[in-house]
């Protein structure tokens, strides 16, 4: 197992390099000139000077190598707009997004798994139909729309919860911060919840139809013990789906974060795109991509641990 993890870690390096290359290319091959966007109507010699000082006049491969070198040493550059260190911007944004992502995962996964298990076991009953219909609604409903509805109902109409921002408390673990996180958490958890519920339901139904469940019953195992076997068998598939959803949540949602004015990576990305703030854009996309690479690595390892049929080499 340890060897497997090590080899998987080694595999991650080329993937990370590839991702960085794509991130770099995406930003640089996009049409439009970053400096003219930032500086507006100024004379061309000044723009050329600025371009040289940021190194944007060098050939792209060289720029990439330079950028990669600085990234490797933790140096992500400075925002073209505010001059703030990109790393600093990203760290606080990522912390905010991760906080929401973790909360939304906890909520969405627990509700989704419970609902999916119930529906799978009560296959064909009204309870199953309610769960299945809700799951379809959950996946097809745009989450920013849900966000707006939540704001209208809980903040505007009832005045129960704050609508925007992260609050002014210094710690993320304060009651005030938590109140600010409730609505975005619910909005973000809808899709993962629905997807996990659907996967769990399908998985449980499939497993229950397998002969080994009958064989377990023939050994005299209690129903609760059999449920344990069913859960254990559903685990690899559900884990994989949860991992992908978690990675999605870590990426932050531009739309939901914008609705709630939540200072996370989604908001930063949104702003950076509007500003054509290349260092921030690159840094954010790279960070999100790395989230994906790392979560995928973790999913892979978890799956190998959960499913003995996946070969370990």
Mark the segment that binds other proteins (CB under 8 A) among 60-68, 136-144, 209-217, 287-295.
Answer: 209-217
Q: How far is the CB of 244 from other proteins (least distance, A)?
A: 21
**Which residues, including other chains, have CB under 8 Å from residue 298's CB and lie 6 or more apart?**
243
Cβ proximity to other proteins: between 164 and 208 the closer is 208
Cβ proximity to other proteins: between 174 and 222 the closer is 222
Mark the segment that binds other proteins (CB under 8 A) among 142-150, 216-224, 260-268, 284-292.
Answer: 216-224
Cβ proximity to other proteins: between 136 and 228 the closer is 228
Separation of alpha carbons 82 and 289, rounded Å: 24
Cβ proximity to other proteins: between 145 and 232 the closer is 232
Q: Is there binding between residue 310 and other proteins (CB under 8 A)?
A: no
301 token code pair: 């390892």
Cβ proximity to other proteins: between 3 and 311 the closer is 311
Q: How far is the CB of 118 from other proteins (least distance, A)?
A: 16
Long-range CB pairs of 4-11, under 8 A, 24+ apart, other chains included: 4/301, 4/304, 4/312, 4/313, 5/301, 7/313, 8/297, 8/300, 8/301, 9/297
Which of 72, 170, 173, 309 forms a contact with other proteins (CB under 8 A)?
309
Q: Which of 1, 173, 37 is nearest to 103 (CA)?
A: 173
Separation of alpha carbons 2 and 18, rounded Å: 25
DSSP string, 58-111: S-HHHHHHHHHHHHHTT---B-TTT--BHHHHHHHHHHHHHHHHHHHHHHHHHH
Cβ proximity to other proteins: between 11 and 212 the closer is 212
**Which residues, including other chains, have CB under 8 Å from residue 23's CB and lie 6 or more apart?**
282, 285, 286, 289
Q: Is there binding between residue 308 and other proteins (CB under 8 A)?
A: yes
Q: Is there binding between residue 110 and other proteins (CB under 8 A)?
A: no
Separation of alpha carbons 225 and 293, rounded Å: 36
Cα within 13 Å of Cα(107), Cβ side:
18
Count residues binding other proteins (CB under 8 A). Answer: 23
Residue where the block lists tokens 């009832």: 158
Which of 11, 13, 212, 274 forms a contact with other proteins (CB under 8 A)?
212
Q: Is there binding between residue 127 and other proteins (CB under 8 A)?
A: no
Which of 229, 255, 258, 296 forms a contact with other proteins (CB under 8 A)?
229
Which of 41, 43, 157, 211 forms a contact with other proteins (CB under 8 A)?
211
Mark the segment that binds other proteins (CB under 8 A) among 15-23, 168-176, 275-283, 302-310.
Answer: 302-310
Q: Is there binding between residue 206 and other proteins (CB under 8 A)?
A: no
Q: Is there binding between residue 313 and other proteins (CB under 8 A)?
A: no
Q: Is there binding between residue 217 and other proteins (CB under 8 A)?
A: yes
Q: Is there binding between residue 287 and other proteins (CB under 8 A)?
A: no
The enclosing H or E element of 152 equals none
Q: What angle do CA 304, 199, 141 make, to 5 degrees?
A: 130
Separation of alpha carbons 286 and 73, rounded Å: 14
Binding site for other proteins (CB under 8 A): 210-212, 214-223, 225, 229, 232-233, 235-236, 306-309
């Amino acid at each position: 197992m340890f060897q497997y993890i090590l080899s998987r870690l080694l595999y991650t390096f080329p993937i990370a390099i590839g991702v960085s290359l794509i991130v770099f290319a995406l930003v640089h091959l996009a049409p439009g000139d970053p400096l003219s966007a930032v500086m507006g109507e100024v004379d061309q010699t000044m723009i050329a000077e600025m371009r040289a000082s940021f190194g944007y006049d060098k050939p792209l491969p060289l720029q990439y190598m330079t950028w990669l070198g600085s990234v490797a040493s933790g140096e992500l550059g400075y925002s073209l707009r505010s001059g703030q260190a990109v790393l600093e911007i990203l760290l606080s944004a990522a912390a905010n997004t991760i906080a929401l992502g973790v909360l939304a995962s906890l909520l969405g996964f627990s509700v989704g798994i419970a609902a999916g298990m119930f529906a799978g076991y009560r296959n064909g009953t009204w309870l199953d139909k309610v769960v299945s219909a809700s799951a379809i609604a959950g996946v097809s409903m745009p989450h920013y729309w849900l966000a707006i509805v939540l704001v209208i109902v809980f903040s505007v109409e009832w005045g129960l919860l704050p609508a925007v921002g992260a609050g002014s408390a210094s710690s993320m673990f304060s009651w005030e911060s938590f109140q600010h996180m409730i609505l975005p958490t619910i909005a973000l958890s809808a899709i993962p919840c629905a997807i996990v519920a659907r996967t769990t339901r399908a998985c449980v139904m499939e497993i229950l139809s397998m002969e080994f469940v009958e064989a377990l019953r023939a050994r005299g195992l209690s129903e609760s013990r059999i449920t344990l076997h069913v859960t254990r068998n559903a685990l690899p598939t559900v884990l994989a789906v949860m991992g992908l959803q978690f990675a999605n949540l870590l990426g932050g949602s531009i739309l939901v974060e914008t609705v709630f004015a939540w200072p996370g990576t989604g908001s930063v990305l949104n702003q950076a795109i509007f500003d054509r703030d290349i260092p921030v854009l690159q840094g954010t996309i790279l960070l999100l991509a790395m989230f994906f690479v790392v979560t995928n690595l973790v999913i892979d390892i978890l799956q190998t641990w959960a499913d003995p049929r996946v070969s370990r080499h």
